[in-house]
Copies of this chain bind each other. A is one copy, B any other.
């Protein structure tokens, strides 16, 4: 590993990780997570995680956006990788800031590319994948707070055209809370 120390580079006003040996500055910026609430007949596609963190818990098909990729391309790739699902995007459902872990999450609302034949199966990062109606969602085993937020945003969005994207909920405007053991009220 490079021998990183925290210091303020010349001409800046903020500490960065700088290699003490060679002066290389490792700019550590927030990462973009892109994902989808994929809906078929009022049910939503959920993936049970095969990897840490939160192995065994349920999430949306989502992951880090890659370089040379648009948000739309990233959302489609993640649905294919994690749920072997070919999807079509409706638009942006929610945009969340998760300051605690340096993430910006862009969540689309989506359908299966062939709505008459919603095909999916577990990719290598999923233990199982399924379609869940609202009342059947495993609320006690959701992986991350933002999965709850996105599902709630989907419920509120109905089935018509999307409006302004949902942001962080009032109780966690900065995205700094961890997942509680007890389900949130109102879900």
Residues of A bordering B, CB below 8 Å: 1-2, 14, 19, 22, 24, 26, 28-32, 64-73, 91-92, 95, 97, 99, 102, 104, 106, 161-165, 167-168, 173-175
Contact = CB atoms under 8 A, between A and B. Distances in A.
- Copies of this chain present in the complex amount to 2
Say whether chain A's binding surface is mostly helix, strand, loop, or mixed: loop
Contact of A30 (B67, B168, B173): B67
Contact of A163 (B65, B163, B175): B163
B106 A104 contact: yes
Contact of A24 (B2, B66, B69, B99): B2
A28 B66 CA distance: 8
Q: Which of A26, A92, A97, A163 has the most CB of B within 10 A?
A: A97
A164 B92 contact: yes
